[in-house]
Structure formats: C-alpha cells, structure tokens
Amino acid sequence: MALTIISLIKQVPLPSEMRMGEDGLMDRTKAKSIINVDCQFGLEAGLQLKKKYPDARMIACSMGPFSFETALKTALSMGYDEAYLLSDRKLGGSDTYATGLALATLLKHLGFTKESKEPFIIFTGRQTSDGDTAHVPSQVAENMGLPQATFVERVEADGKGNIIARRIIEGGHQELQLPMPCVVSLTPTGIPPRKPSLSGAIKARNTNITVLGVDDINLTSPKIGLAGSPTIVANVQNITSDRPPVMMAEGQGDKELVDSFITQFETGGNTLQKKEEKERRVRETPDFPVIDTREENRGILTWAEVVNGKISPSSLELLTPSLNLAEQLGGETKITTVLIGKNVKPLAKTLFEHGSDEVVVVEDDRLEEYLVLPFSDILAQVIRERKPEIALFAATTAGRELAPRIGVKTGSGVTADCTGLEIGEYVNRREKEIIRPILHSRRPTYGESKLATILGFIYPQISTARPGTFPVPKQQDGRTGTLSVFKPKLKEEDFIVKIRKTVRGEGGLQSLLDADVIISGGRGATSDNLQLVKELAAALKEKGIKAEWAGSRVVVDEGVAEYARQIGQTGRTVRPKVYVAVGISGAIQHIYGIKEAGTIVAIDHNPKASIFKHADFGILGEYEDVVPELIDRVKGGFTFGVEPAKS
Amino acid sequence: MDNVTVKTDVLIIGGGPSGLSFAIRLADLLKEKGLERRILLIDKGNSIGSHIISGALVRPGIFSELLPDTPAEEIPFDSKVSSNKMYMLSERGKLRIPITPPYMGNKGHYTASLGELCRFLANKAEEKGVEIYTGFAMSDILYDEKGKVIGAKTIDTGVDQQGNQMENFQEGTPVEAKLTIFAEGSRGSLTKKLIQKFNLDEGRNQQIYSLGCKELWSVPEGTIAPGEVYNTMGFPASDFGAFGGGFIYGLKDNKIALGLVIGLDYADPTFDTHNAFQVWKKHPFVAQFLKGGTIVEYGAKTLPEGGYYAVPKLFTDNALIVGDSAGLLAMPALKGIHLAVQSGMLAAQTALVALEQNDFSEKTLQTYEQLVKKSTIHSELYRNRNFRQGFVKGMIPGMFHFGTQLITGGAGFCGRLKNHSDSEATKTLADAKKPLFIEKYKDLEFDKELTFDKVTDVYYSGVAHDDHQVPHLQVNDPETFNTVNIKEYGAPCQYYCSAEVYEVHTDREGKQELRIHFENCLHCKTCDIKEPAGGITWNVPYGGNGPDYKYM
C-alpha cells in the first residue's frame, strides 16, 4: 500500500522585493517566472515525507497555460516522478473558486478521492504571490471532502497513517493530527526547498508531462473560467501616498546623524503640499434598468472568533464595516454574529455592545477550540438557514481558511484580505442592466500599488477583512439584541482532526495592534537576526513605552521573525503612533501595512530604498551603527515623543 | 537515491562560445561518421547566456565555418561595423588617432551581444542532439585511482553558511565522462585546479588578466548609428600607470554598449575599475553619447591577456582546455571569441578521433595542441607574443616595445619578455605612487543618471545568490589577511571588486573586519586573480546563482 504524495504548484512572475523599480512599482520587464515560493515549500514538504516513505509515488500537478510546464519540469528535477498540467482555454480567468473546483476534479480524475483505498496526501503552498488569497487549498479540500491543515510549517508522519502538522496561528502555533488523505498547505517558514539536482534534471528531460483539458477530466461544471467564476475584478486603481516628503537627517557620522534626526523629530517634519487633484473623467452610468438580484437574501453575517476565552479584536473590528454596510443597505438590514465554542454565551454581550443585532450561539464541548471542519460546517448551516446577503470574516489564519471552505459549500466566491468594503452597483454593459446593491470588496493587489475592487454574484457575498484595517466600533454600554441558540447537525467526521497542542507566545498580533511604537526590521537588518531591532524596542519598553518589534515579509519568510510579527501584505495593518523601519526596502505591500501609522521613521543604507519615499523622517546609514546610537538616546530619555503608558 | 552517477561520453563544462562550438562541431563530425555518442554540456548560469558578457566585436567568418549550413543572416549579430575611430583621451581633451594601430582594425566585424550568439548556438547544439543543462555548477573534478580526470561533480546543495548539512541537503551529481572539456571561460575555477594538479603551466609565463566593466544603455534616437565603433586610450587609466582603454559600440534599437577594460597588473591598491569606468563616462567625449539615455544592464568580466607565452598545455589524459580558460585571446585587439570558437572546433576534431579509437590518453589528445599550433590561433597569438608584457612599465615603454615587436615579427629586442602575476603587481599603500586613485577621486559622486555607484550598477546585472550556502568566496588565511591585506595594502578587494562584494567594516571600537556580500558577485573572478598573495579563492556557488545578463 504505497503512499502517493501530490504537490499542487503554480507558476508566477518572480515577486522579488529587489526588483522594485525607481517608481516603486514592480519592474515587470525583469520579472522571470518561478514556481510560487510557497508552493516550493509544499514540494519540499512532499520530498521530506518521502524520506519516511521511500516507495511513495510522487506527483506534481498544476493548472495554467502550457508555459507552466517549466514549473512542472523543475518539480520533476527536484525529485517528483510524474507531472500533470490541467490546461484549457476554457479555464482562463478562473477565480479561486473555479480553480479549486478544477484542481479537485483533476485529482479525482487521476483516481484520488476520499474513498481511495490507497492513502495519499496533497501538499500546496499557503498562497500565491500573484493572487495572495490562500483560498485554493481550502477549496480543493472542501471539493474533495478532505480534512486540511493550512499555514503549516512542519510536517511529520506518525507511521500510523496520520500527519502531524505544525500550523501557524496568531501569536503562536498549533500541532494538528490529521488522517490521510488530507490537504496540507505550507508557509515559507518550513524547510527551504531543495535545488534541482542534475540527475533529477536529466530524468525530468526524459519524463513527459501529461497535459489534460477540461473534457479529458470530465469537468462539466459551468463554474469555471472567467464566465463561470462567482467573482470578478471590477476595477483597479492606483494607491497613492498622502505623506509629505521625507526629511533626511544630516551630518557626518552616526552621532551627528542621530542628533540631527532628534532635532528634526522634535521640531516636526515637512508638511504636505496638497496637489490639486485632476478631476477624473467619470464614465457616465448608462440608463439601464436597475435590478436587485438578492431575492430573499438579506442582512450581514459575521463570525466572532474566540481566542483564550475572549472575542478576538479583529472580529470586533469586523463590526465597523458591517455597521457601515448595514447603513448603506438601509432598511431592515441586520447584523448577525455567529458565536461558536464552549460556554461562550456570556460573550454575546460584548458583541451587542459593539453593534451586532443578533448573536447566534452554538455551544458544544467539542468546539472549545477552533477547527476548520466543524466550524465551516456550522457556519454553512447557519448561512443556509439565515440567508444573509453578505458574510464577513476577519482575515486571521482561521478566517482565511474558513471563508473559502464555506464558500465552496454555498457556491460563493470569496474576496480575501480586504481593506475596504462598500455597497455599490455593477453596470453590466453586455446584459444592459445595473445590479444594485452589490458589495464592493477592495483589496491591494500584489507587487503593484493597485487596489482592486472585487464583486461576487452568488449569495452570500463572502469577504475576509484584514486585521487592523478597521477600528473597533465604539462600545455602547447596555446595547442589547436578540440572542438565539442554533443546534447544528455535526458528524463524527467533522472531528477527525485533533489538536495535539496550542502554543500562544508573548507578542504577536495583539501587542502589535496595541503598540504606540513599533520597531520593525527588514532584510537589511538581519545580519544580527534583528537583535538591534529587539534591543531598541526593549529599551523603549524599559522607559514604560508600549513598544513592540516586528518584521517585514522577507524576514518572516526567512524565519528570523515569526509570522505573527509580520507587517504588511497578508500580515496586518498597524497604526502605532511611531513606526521605525530598520533596513526595510519598502515593498509596496509593506508600505500599505503601515500607512495608518502616525509618524514613520526609516533607517537604511540605501538612499534609493523606496521606504524613504513613504517616511516622515529618514536616517541614511548602516543600521548596525545608527541603531546602537538610538538605543543610547532612548536610555537617555528620548522616546520618540511618546508618553509612557499608564498602567 | 537521487544521487545517481550520470555517465556520458563527453562532458563539457561551460556553455560559452568555446564549449558550444566544441559541442556543435563534435555533433556534426559524429553524424558524418555515423556515430552516436552522448554529449553533455553543463553551465552554471540560470540559462545559456545569463553569465555571458563581452564587448563585443566579432569576426563573422568563424561562425560560417562552424555552421556551414546556416545562412549568415540567421546568425544574430547586432550590426555591421560602419565606422571605427580611435581617440587618445586626456582628462579634459581628446586627440583622434588618424590611423588604426596594427592588429586593431575592425573592418568586416560585427557588434554583437555574445549572450545572444550563445543562445543561438545552444539551440543549434540541441538540434544536433547535444544535451544542455543550465543552472548546475560543477564544483569538483573527479579523478580515478590513477589520478586521471574522469569527469566532474556538481556542487552539494542544502548546506548553511557554515557548511552544515540542512534538511534539504543533496549531494552533488557525479558525472563520469570519457572526455571532459574545460570551457569555463576566463579563470575557470576547475581549470585552475586542473592546471595546478597537472602542472599544465610549467615553463609558461604567469597568466595575466584585465577586468572589463560594461554597461548597456538605451539612448535617444540619432545619438549613435548601429555599427559605429569608438575606442579610447589614455584617460583615466594612464594617470595611474594602468594599461587599458574604453569602447563605445553603437547597437541597433538605439542601444549603446560601452565599457572600460583595465589590465589588472596595476600597482595602486586603491585603483577601482568600476569607478574609473564612471569617471571615464563623465569625460565629455563619452558623456555626449549618453545624454538623455538610461542604463539597461551592467556587468563585468575578466579577460586573459597573457598571450602566447601564458597559454598552458591544452591537454591531459581525458581532458582538453578550450577558449578563455586556455588563455586564447588575441592582443592588442582584445579579441577572443573567434579563437574560442576555433579552439572548440579543433578540440572537436581531436575528440572525434579519440571517440573513434576509444583512446582518450595524452597520446591521442596531444593532436589538439598540434592543431592549434598549425592554425591561425597560433599565428595571431605568436605575432604579438610579447605585446602585453611590454606594457608592464606603462604605456610609453609599451609603445616602444610594441614598435620593436612590429619590426621583428613579435620578438622585440629582448626575445621572450617575462612577467609577474597581477596579484604580485599590487603595491602596499606605503609603496604605491601618490596620489592614489582614492585620493585623486575622493570627491567622486554618482549622480544616478550618468554615473552609478557599484550597488546601483549591480542591481542592473540581475544578480542573485541563494542565502543558504557556504560563501563561495573564501579568504584563504584570515589572520594574514587582516594584518597584511587589510592593514598594509588597505584592502584592495573593496576597490578592485566590480560588484561591491567586499566591505571593510569598522565597528564602534575601531576594529576592522572584512565582510563578504557574496550575493552581489558577478563571477568576474578579479578577487581570485588580483588579491595580494592570492589571498582569496573564488569557488562556484550554487548553480543558477550569479548575474542574469540579457543582452551583454
């Protein structure tokens, strides 16, 4: 009974921070294609598992144009034996929902189903650098009816047919035990992918890649390709900086530089010269009939994530866009929040006081800790009963796997990691109609300073919202609402994944969101593994300042900082009073994650680093020299103008 | 299990013009004889051409010889040379040299991107059945129990910077070959080991090199016509007694290739070829071509300039050396491409005989060296056999020597001129002539429009290296490095390096240490050549690492 190890990979343009052009945009002329980095970690996880199962059959699969054969060849030269490419014009423009469906159909066609007698395991990357949704692993798992573990950095086999996966969660990690077959998505903090070997490349040259189309795999669903996808990209616009130009410290040597910086900091930076915005030519809305496609679907549903016996702040933040959307929708629009757990009923009060009109409580002793299978099942059942038009989740590690899994159950597409949620309309020029109201979900797209607006046409319209983007609504003491109890139908099978342990460390999400000063390190601050960054934060803490340290995506990917400390894209938005960027080049997603910060100070040796274009104050120098000097000043009483927190 | 030994008839290390020409020629010859043999060509670049950089001006004829069935217009040269002018530059002025010095004419030549040519040759080779694998670095020569070459092995991957095996460790793939061709280019790291092991340079002059830094620019329409060629001598190299000059080539689509090539036998430990190149670009004669333009690419490489007397023995049992690795470069024209192609073709003739007779011993392979000696490679190298050595003491005595060599058919009045290695030529800070390069150009600034600091230029090379590997640049003796190379010589590596790999860091207590940013390395190998007392060894990093040249 040989194991089959399957790896799903995608080919993407090289998303290197190093290739950011002069204008801060990705220089596409230099972009090569690579296997998406997270997928490479998935490939490696498969090869590591093979050490335990030397007879395992190794299969790599991808979906995309013929050029994706390059990626599959690389997988073969890393040690995979067979490769399949699902390639069909009909699949062009597929969103994540359609992609998940197509890949699951491919795997079923290859003989891998829940009922298969032979065990198998599917490895994927956590998310792709060009889409950045992290949806597809969940969608494949749901389409195949398999258990899953996402955001995993370590995989081991227990020799009894189970996989032990170390899953990253906010502020720590979890150890999950999953039976095979299952789907496991890997973060780039796992074991780094191996280089292809020459002997592997020679083997790859002599191995044919099987290319299959939708007819070959009997993919008959209309929900594929651009036309069949439940979501569309309606609009893409530029993100512009609204900070005044940076003020650079002047002087020779570290001491003078830091002196100059402190003087500048205390007297205030440059002021913004408002440029007159050119009036944008508004495309006239044609006189089409307005239709409301919602039918009986009404209201907004949110999920309240419970962490350590409390409602997670990101779930409370979710009520801000919910309240706005309810107001824009008008009338009787209600906000229903689902609260799942063990003895969670008392927490409903907090939700009412922050804006929920109704709290649906689901209690069960087995639901004390979040698990994707029962939670997605419960939420889908509530959705089917309540028929909300919109369902919102915080884009936490839980929300980001839960939402797509639910989406497959309800047939909805999902928009990931939104930073803006509004009600608008969709002008369908082909059908000559206007759909109104419809949810406009806005999210930054990778590598470019663009904000995409995504629309979904299947109800509920599901989106996840980036933690830290929306403020927690003002608490209204004494506000109440309807408390109802929901009894879900749960299957034994929903509990086949076991949590072996949960570790939540100090720091991480919450203290980053609460911090007044964040000292953050990037690639350029790693020669001491962020030691100086941590010391500067510690020196501020000693002065009673609410300070935390954090890292850019690169340092997290390299394992120097844990995921929970990542700032920027698919990490989080922070809004400290002062943000100090040390050795951070300023990739656009990072800039987006800090744009709410009060004052931004940048320290880097590269005068061209784009972080300087987005900072208020800049110090040009080696961080190894500048930061010790700053630490001395902090010890001497300089606290970046922030008052010690009253405890 | 993944580490299967690969067996082949012929292994070619390096996919430049010499290795590819060898492969094409051998494939053709085997086909003529109706023989089938496996030919494996391995290149460390991410793809063919990504590590290829040259001026380049090429003679088209040799390519027609290599590819007799290919119409000349299919070969992707850039433009036919339309004019060819030589200038002597002083700090502010210029003097046109009305006649072209002997052996430096470029009539009938073409400007070209050698990378583009190599991609073309690689396609031809693959059509003829040659197996080409790119992105694999050969780190060790394999020897049999008698000490004879039997192939090479790719570098082990999955080790950390200290050399410890990580979980993704993979042992390199051994490739066993009946015949191994060393075609690594200038200062090949395995060729160096081969030459040392078998004393192939016994009785030869020390090989000496020059370093060329090049930029590719896109310029406004009408700035330069395709095929316009300018060479400059004098400024800024002559101020420091260095041998060298600049080139400006007009390419199609309003592109310019320009560069500065400096002999590495200079004495000033602070001389910086990259910065001299930037200074040269500011000269009004050069700057006029770049006005309104933008940089497209940057790169650097060394060239073996030692000439005839520095060419090593070209064969040993089971192995041949071709092209730049063999030091086959014609001076004073600084042209090696046609010799690389020709040497590859001659080596292929010999390889055919060896394959037919299944005899790869020196007895059979020595034919290659005899063929070279009978060919125009020999005549081109021999007539200028003393050219470069004559310039050791500077340009004026060099010109005198060159003059006498012209009269005497290359011998000069002294017979064979000996030389010193480039690394020996470097003087200590105390002994070097003042002002030093860094003193003269202490206020040098880079405006990021016309001139660029190294880091910015390096960005335009597309260079990348994996973080997780043993740094491929190795300081051989850290202690003497600190006391001698840093203290007495002032750490020349921070200046000669074309890519800001080396940094002397002074901490707050004033303690100095060398930091190696190997991720910037352009594989030019100047450090391996120029560091005083041979203090640095250049090894191969992981395959696929290094620059990613597009049209260099």
Residue A643 lies in a domain: no
Per the CB < 8 Å rule, is B135 touching A196?
yes
User: Which residues in chain B touch residue A198, judged by CB atoms under 8 angstroms apart?
Assistant: 6, 42, 133, 136, 154, 172-173, 175
Interface test with B, best of A34, A51, A195 (most B CBs within 10 A): A195
Residue A98 lies in a domain: yes
pLDDT at residue number A505: 63
Mean pLDDT lowest among A294-298, A499-503, A534-538, B238-242: B238-242
Same domain, A18 and A69: yes
Percent share of chain B, pLDDT over 70: 96
Is residue A579 a contact partner of residue A593, using CB atoms and an 8 Å limit? no
Mean pLDDT lowest among A161-175, A267-281, B232-246, B425-439: A267-281
Same domain, A348 and A400: yes
What is the radius of gyration, based on Cα positions, of chain A? 25
Nearest-by-CA chain B residue for A78? B2
Contact A500/B at CB under 8 A: no
Is residue A613 a contact partner of residue A255, using CB atoms and an 8 Å limit? no
Convert the pLDDT of each residue in B137-184 to its tens digit: 999 999 999 999 999 999 999 998 899 999 999 999 999 999 999 999
Per the CB < 8 Å rule, is A198 touching B136?
yes
User: Which residues in chain B touch residue A194, judged by CB atoms under 8 angstroms apart?
Assistant: 157-158, 168-170
Task: Please tell me whether residue B207 adopts helix, strand or coil conformation.
Answer: coil
What average pLDDT score do residues A352-372 get?
97
Same domain, A53 and A169: yes
pLDDT at residue number A569: 53
What average pLDDT score do residues A84-107 get?
95
Amino acid in position A371: L
Q: Which of residues A445, A470, A498 is at a domain's end?
A: A498
Same domain, B108 and B229: yes
Residue A282 lies in a domain: no
Contact B172/A at CB under 8 A: yes
Per the CB < 8 Å rule, is A198 touching B455?
no
pLDDT band at A610 (very low <50, low <70, confident <90, very high): confident
Residue A385 lies in a domain: yes
Is residue B135 a contact partner of residue B45, using CB atoms and an 8 Å limit? yes
Residue A222 contacts by C-beta under 8 Å, 6 or more apart in sequence? A228
pLDDT at residue number A509: 56
Nearest to B186 by CA among B524, B415, B538: B524
Nearest-by-CA chain B residue for A558? B467
Q: Which of residues B240, B268, B303 is at a domain's end?
A: B303
Residue B12 lies in a domain: yes
Q: How far is CA A529 from CA A537, A557, A586, in A?
A: 14, 13, 19
pLDDT at residue number A446: 58
Is residue A170 a contact partner of residue A509, using CB atoms and an 8 Å limit? yes
Convert the pLDDT of each residue in A461-505 to its tens digit: 999 998 888 999 999 999 999 999 999 999 999 999 999 999 876
Same domain, A186 and A246: no
pLDDT at residue number A295: 93
CA–CA separation, A513 and A576 (whole Å): 7
Same domain, A413 and A542: no
CA–CA separation, B340 and B349 (whole Å): 14
CA–CA separation, A468 and A571 (whole Å): 10
Same domain, B180 and B40: yes
Residue B245 lies in a domain: yes
User: Which residues in chain B touch residue A202, judged by CB atoms under 8 angstroms apart?
Assistant: 6, 131, 133
Same domain, A464 and A535: no
Same domain, A24 and A67: yes
User: Which residues in chain A touch residue B167, judged by CB atoms under 8 angstroms apart?
Assistant: 48, 191
Contact A28/B at CB under 8 A: no
| HEC secondary structure over A451-510 | EEEEEECCCCEEEEECCCCCCCCCCCCCCCCEEEECCCCCCHHHHCCEEEEEEECCCCHH
CB contact burial B418-431 (16+ within 10 A = b; e otherwise): ebebbbebbbbbee
Residue B388 contacts by C-beta under 8 Å, 6 or more apart in sequence? B208, B243, B263, B305, B306, B307, B331, B332, B419
User: Which residues in chain A touch residue B548, judged by CB atoms under 8 angstroms apart?
Assistant: 32
Whether pLDDT at B1 is above 60: no
pLDDT band at B10 (very low <50, low <70, confident <90, very high): very high
- What is the number of structural domains in chain B? 3
| Residue B92 structural domain | 80-112+211-303
Convert the pLDDT of each residue in A391-423 to its tens digit: 999 999 999 999 999 999 999 999 998 989 999
Contact B394/A at CB under 8 A: no
What average pLDDT score do residues A427-436 get?
91
Nearest to A443 by CA among A127, A189, A219: A127
Mean pLDDT lowest among B37-41, B150-154, B168-172, B514-518: B514-518
Residue B85 contacts by C-beta under 8 Å, 6 or more apart in sequence? B96, B229, B230, B231
Same domain, A18 and A150: yes
Same domain, A257 and A324: no
Ramachandran class of A551: left when φ > 0, alpha when ψ lies in -120 to 50, beta otherwise: beta
Residue A647 lies in a domain: no
Residue A231 lies in a domain: no
Same domain, B130 and B46: yes
pLDDT band at A203 (very low <50, low <70, confident <90, very high): very high
Contact A551/B at CB under 8 A: no
Instruction: Take residue A57 and report the two structure tokens written for it.
Output: 């059959």
Same domain, B167 and B221: no
Contact B3/A at CB under 8 A: yes
Cα-Cα-Cα-Cα dihedral sign, residues A248, A253, A256, A259: positive
Q: Which helix or strand (DSSP H or E) is residue B197 part of?
A: helix B189-197
Residue B147 contacts by C-beta under 8 Å, 6 or more apart in sequence? B197
Length of chain B: 552
CATH of the domain at B440: 3.30.70.20
A:B CB pairs within 8 Å? 70
Same domain, B445 and B517: yes
Residue B414 lies in a domain: no
Phi and psi at A602, nearest 5°, equal -120, 135
How far does B507 lie from chain A, in Å, by closest CA? 8
Convert the pLDDT of each residue in B344-372 to its tens digit: 999 999 999 999 999 999 999 999 999 99
Per the CB < 8 Å rule, is A192 touching B166?
yes
User: Which residues in chain B touch residue A606, judged by CB atoms under 8 angstroms apart?
Assistant: 455
Residue A93 lies in a domain: yes
pLDDT at residue number B93: 82
Residue B296 lies in a domain: yes
Instruction: Take residue B125 and report the two structure tokens written for it.
Output: 């080779």
How far does A404 lie from chain B, in Å, by closest CA? 32
State the average pLDDT for chain A.
89
Contact B248/A at CB under 8 A: no
Stretch 33-62 of chain B: residues touching chain A, C-beta under 8 Å: 42
Whether pLDDT at B95 is above 90: no
Residue A449 lies in a domain: yes
Q: Which of residues B322, B343, B376 is at a domain's end?
A: B376
| Residue A552 structural domain | 241-270+506-635
In this structure, what DSSP letter does residue A68 have? G
Mean pLDDT lowest among A629-633, A642-646, B137-141: A642-646
Same domain, B249 and B343: no
- What is the number of structural domains in chain A? 3
Contact A528/B at CB under 8 A: no
Cis peptide leading into residue A119 (ω within 30°): no
CATH of the domain at B271: 3.30.9.90
pLDDT at residue number A19: 43
Residue B544 lies in a domain: no
Contact A52/B at CB under 8 A: no
Phi and psi at B245, nearest 5°, equal -165, 175
What average pLDDT score do residues B117-128 get?
98
Same domain, B138 and B48: yes
What average pLDDT score do residues B544-549 get?
96
Stretch 616-635 of chain A: residues touching chain B, C-beta under 8 Å: 624-625, 628
Percent share of chain B, pLDDT over 90: 81
Nearest-by-CA chain A residue for B461? A30
Amino acid in position A550: A
State the average pLDDT for chain B.
93
Same domain, B511 and B461: yes
Same domain, A363 and A216: no
CATH of the domain at A87: 3.40.50.620
Nearest to B213 by CA among B302, B300, B334: B300
What average pLDDT score do residues A125-142 get?
92
Per the CB < 8 Å rule, is A192 touching B42?
no
pLDDT at residue number A432: 92
pLDDT band at A24 (very low <50, low <70, confident <90, very high): very low
Contact B157/A at CB under 8 A: yes
CATH of the domain at A597: 3.40.50.1220
Residue B157 lies in a domain: yes
Is residue B91 a contact partner of residue B238, using CB atoms and an 8 Å limit? no
Residue B141 lies in a domain: yes
User: Which residues in chain B touch residue A48, judged by CB atoms under 8 angstroms apart?
Assistant: 167-168
Which of B3, B167, B466 is closest, CB to CB, to A199?
Answer: B3
* Residue that is written with structure tokens 């002065």 in the block: A543
Is residue A97 a contact partner of residue A46, using CB atoms and an 8 Å limit? no
CA–CA separation, B16 and A13 (whole Å): 27
CA–CA separation, B330 and B109 (whole Å): 15
Contact B218/A at CB under 8 A: no
Per the CB < 8 Å rule, is B157 touching A200?
no
CA–CA separation, A329 and A48 (whole Å): 51
* β B255-263/B244-251 pair status: antiparallel
Residue B547 lies in a domain: no
Contact A198/B at CB under 8 A: yes
Instruction: Take residue A514 and report the two structure tokens written for it.
Output: 């609460």
Convert the pLDDT of each residue in B287-315 to its tens digit: 999 999 999 999 999 999 999 999 999 99
Same domain, B29 and B57: yes
Same domain, B224 and B347: no
Same domain, A410 and A481: yes
pLDDT at residue number A64: 94
Say how many Å lie between the first and final Cα of chain B, rounded: 39
Same domain, A468 and A615: no
Same domain, B201 and B228: no
